[in-house]
A and B are shown apart, each in its own frame.
Chain A
Amino acid sequence: MINKKVILTGSFGVGKTSLFHQFIYSRFSDKYLTTIGVKVNRKVIKVNDQDLTIFLWDIAGEVSQDKVPVSYFLGASGIIYVFDLTRPSTYRNINEDLAYLNDLLPDVEVKVVGNKKDLVTQQQIDELLAEISVKDVVITSAKTGENVEELFHMLGEAMINE
């Protein structure tokens, strides 16, 4: 069994807590509750026949990443940066945010996630991806659970092989 800390970050209202709940408890709630400070939970997943415990830190959303207390990021082995596919304001500063995270934790695996797939069409997703020019964006829906497990498995593999 290996233990790793993973941070869920991004602007407010992008669905971080919904992804957290979908991953940990396999459930979704329409009720929006803003996260105060940070919430921690864990889940064991199997990666390459090895048990990996992911300690997931769901931190309060901020409009830019340099507003998040640095101490939350420290000690993390993985970061999930979430934006909302339906709200341009949540991915407008994506390159600056990713550059900031890379400066802060250069050796840490970062997964970029476009959430709320259930609210947009494939054409809209393609246009958006062309606009933000960020590679390897994982498109998820916390509501339907689409790609949520896959996201954490991809991250788990990357963290174990690092």
Chain B
Amino acid sequence: MTLEPKIVSQATNDDAQLKRLREILLSDDRQEFDAIRSILDNKDNLKVKVDPIIEDQIEFIQENFPDVFGKQVDKAIEQKITNSPELLLSILSPVLGRLIRKAIAQQLQQLRENIDEQIRKTFSRRGIIGRLKALLFGIKDGDIILSQSTEFEAELKEIYIIQRYSGLLMGSYSTGHAMDRDMIGGMLTAIKSFAEDAIEDEEHQGNEELEMIQYGVYKIYIQNFYNYYIAVVMMGEITTSDREEMADKLIKFAEREIKLAPKHLDSEYINNLSAQLEEYFKKEKND
């Protein structure tokens, strides 16, 4: 006699019942699982479910970006700049370079002029004599400096208003005997064009303009405007503040008096503008 078949039969029954029980208990979960799987496995179904959530999140991020990621972005930028400052410089330098360079050059020029002035006053023959006079006769330093100061004063010699590209003279003013004014207008424009074209590189294309020419004791300062430029011939010791003062005067005159040149630049226009220029600078000198 053997019990084995009964035991096996009993076990089979148990399995079937367990399976049945499992099916009863898990059927809802299974259906739910199948539904989820059909969504996950099918791209279109997944898209319908997920897209609105992503869109909401994108909208939320767009609206709240600084609050949500501000700190991280700041940190990332800070780290980038710390790691490679050249990158920031290479981006900013074309924009700011010219302004910074000009400002630094101007400051250095002013500093140099101050030092030169101080050295000249202290060590020049007149300076030494002045100091001796002050010591011997009790004259104040300030009075001596005042008596000497006119020697180095900048002197305005000539002004030319010149059409920017044609080089044609629009007006001029001279305190003495002027050279061939028309020719100066033409040649100055040619020199200006040549210098600007020959020296400028790709980086500074169209940004740099000739601003000063020095010849012996004369300096020609050029104030550039859109359609024309004004060239001022000065003599003597010209400080940065002299130059700035002159530039202010020219800008004021240009704003007030210079209208666009007519189609045919004729003598009447040139004479009128020259007369206005003369009147303006004589008045400025007297003021």
Contacts and interface: CB of A to CB of B under 8 A. Distances in A.
Nearest to A162: B263
B169 interface: yes
Nearest to B169: A3
Contact of B186 (A40, A69, A71): A40
B121 interface: no
Interface residues on A, range: 20 to 34
Interface of A is mostly: strand
B166 A76 contact: yes
A130 interface: no
A75 B266 contact: no
A5 B162 CA distance: 13
Interface residues of B, number: 22
B182 to A, nearest CB: 6
A3 B190 contact: no
A41 interface: yes
B261 to A, nearest CB: 10
Contact of B265 (A3, A38, A41, A71): A3
B182 A53 contact: yes
A37 B264 contact: no
B183 A42 contact: yes
Contacts of B187: 40
A134 B198 CA distance: 33
Given A55-B182, A69-B193, A71-B197, A40 B265 contact: no
A50 to B, nearest CB: 9
Given A2-B265, A3-B266, A37 B168 contact: no
A1 interface: yes
Given A1-B267, A3-B182, A37-B190, A71 B167 contact: no
Contact of A5 (B167, B194, B198): B167
A134 to B, nearest CB: 26
A40 B196 contact: no
A40 B266 contact: no
B264 A38 contact: no
A41 B186 CA distance: 8
8 contacts: A3-B265, A4-B168, A5-B186, A57-B190, A74-B164, A75-B163, A77-B166, A160-B264
5 smallest A-B Cβ distances: which pairs?
A75-B165, A75-B166, A74-B165, A40-B186, A69-B197
Interface of B: 163-169, 182-183, 186-187, 189-190, 193-194, 196-198, 264-267
